[in-house]
Amino acid sequence: MTKVEDVFAKCSNVLPGHGARRSMKTIFQALADGLQGNEYPDQYGEGDYVASFEAEIATLFGKEAAVFMPSGTMAQQIALRIWCERRRNFTVAMHPTSHLEQAEHLGYQYLHQIKRIQFSAPEFLGSRLWDVRDLERLSMEPGAILLELPCRPLGGELLPWDDLFAAANWAKVRGVPLHMDGARLWACRPFLGKNYAQIAELFDSLYVSFYKDLGGLAGAMLLGSSGFIKEARVWQRRLGGNLTTMAPLYVSARLGFQRVLPQIDQWVKRAQEVAAVLSSFDKISVRPNPPHVNFFQVYIQGEPKSLTQTHLQLAQETGTFLFFSLGATMTPGIATTEIHCWENSLAFDLDKLPAFLEKLLAP
């Protein structure tokens, strides 16, 4: 355990996280306690429990079928491969900060020979969301389009519903499949003002994560038409994701889904409350303001290392813990981090935050 983790574990007023840190024994015991005793693990993806979970999520999003996969990285590469292969057009339009572009060693290129179409050259889209006007200016029609809801690299920003609908309609008219990176989709309902099925209706396929917000061990669900999912299962096998069993993963995913989902809208509200306090200080700004979902970016005037150390000292003294570390930005003298509001945030005492920030920002 690092010093930061040790301080985090001892603090009583903690903003980030899903409860206290737990041992593997505690985690697996909780999973066992959440089962009735008559459930059995799947065999290579076939089994009543996992099938009923897949059907439950498919129904929630208004899709014909779903398949549980070990990771979103696998799920999304499979989705793009299927769409591009069907259209015989191995190009995709997606934001330059997309997870596939930035965090997967360009797997979609190396494994599937798919190319990303730039939004103009040079591409000045890194600091804002793309919309239908950007689609209209593409140099060629893509084989598929990927849209992340919400956009993690931009602090969880979302397109307004009308703009999202316009982009989806552009794709629909041209017959271009639209896939959603919905890793953090769970928190999008309040901003968009729609339920999950209404949001998913705009997309030909989507994936959701079970560990990023819902607290599962790992795992993802890919959703779409019955034919699409049937083909996705073949690709899952080809890519080594059809394991003998993934029982611990989908059990933790389902129990997390059942326990956590009712809290999500409250997390969004708490993120907005925290952001309001932070942005009331001249030396702090947040993006977006107010937050669209349950997380946002924070920018603080000061040097990252010294602010991080000051925060750690204050956490030890006061028991209040806001973040694990601050990073540098392209602007000298400005530090940044993300604030995520999960389960711990609901018990966080906001009344203690102003005094804590005054000490953190003191010369």
Identify each DSSP E strand in the chain by its residue range: 13-14, 65-69, 91-93, 115-116, 144-148, 178-182, 205-209, 220-224, 284-287, 295-301, 320-321, 327-328, 334-340
| Collapsed DSSP state (helix, strand, coil) of residue 187 | helix
The pLDDT value recorded for residue 20 is 80
> Cβ distance 144 to 80 under 8 Å?
yes
Residues in a beta bridge with 148: 181
> Cβ distance 293 to 191 under 8 Å?
yes
Name the band, by pLDDT with cuts 50, 70 and 90, for residue 363: confident
Question: Please, what is the Cα angle at 124 between 285 and 203, to 5 degrees?
Answer: 85
Chain segment 319-336, per-residue pLDDT in tens: 999 999 999 999 999 999
Read off the pTM.
Answer: 0.96
Name the band, by pLDDT with cuts 50, 70 and 90, for residue 19: confident
CA dihedral sign of residues 303, 309, 310, 314: positive
- 115 phi, psi to nearest 5 deg: -115, 140
Same CATH topology for 3-18+263-361 and 24-258: the answer is no
The pLDDT value recorded for residue 338 is 97
Name the band, by pLDDT with cuts 50, 70 and 90, for residue 98: very high
Chain segment 221-260, per-residue pLDDT in tens: 999 999 999 999 999 999 999 999 999 999 999 999 999 9
Domain at 3-18+263-361: CATH code: 3.90.1150.10
> Cβ distance 222 to 79 under 8 Å?
yes
Chain segment 258-297, per-residue pLDDT in tens: 999 999 999 999 999 999 999 999 999 999 999 999 999 9
Indicate the average pLDDT of the chain.
Answer: 97
The pLDDT value recorded for residue 178 is 98
For residues 30-52, give the mean pLDDT.
97
For residues 203-229, give the mean pLDDT.
97
Q: Would you list the domain boundaries of the chain?
A: 3-18+263-361, 24-258
Residue with tokens 């593997």: 24
**Does the structure show a pLDDT above 70 at 1?**
no
Beta carbons within 10 angstroms of residue 263's beta carbon: 19
Residue 123 CA to residue 121 CA, distance in Å, equals 5
Percentage of the chain exceeding pLDDT 90: 97
**Does the structure show a pLDDT above 70 at 175?**
yes
Q: Which CATH number fits domain 24-258: 3.40.640.10, 3.40.50.11860, 3.30.70.100, 3.40.50.300?
A: 3.40.640.10
Half-sphere exposure of 54 toward its Cβ, with a 13 Å CA cutoff?
A: 23
CA distances in angstroms from 12 to 144, 277, 343, 352, listed in the order given: 47, 20, 14, 12
Mind giving me the DSSP string for 193-243? T--HHHHHTT-SEEEEESSTTT--SS-EEEEE-HHHHHHHHHHHHHTT---
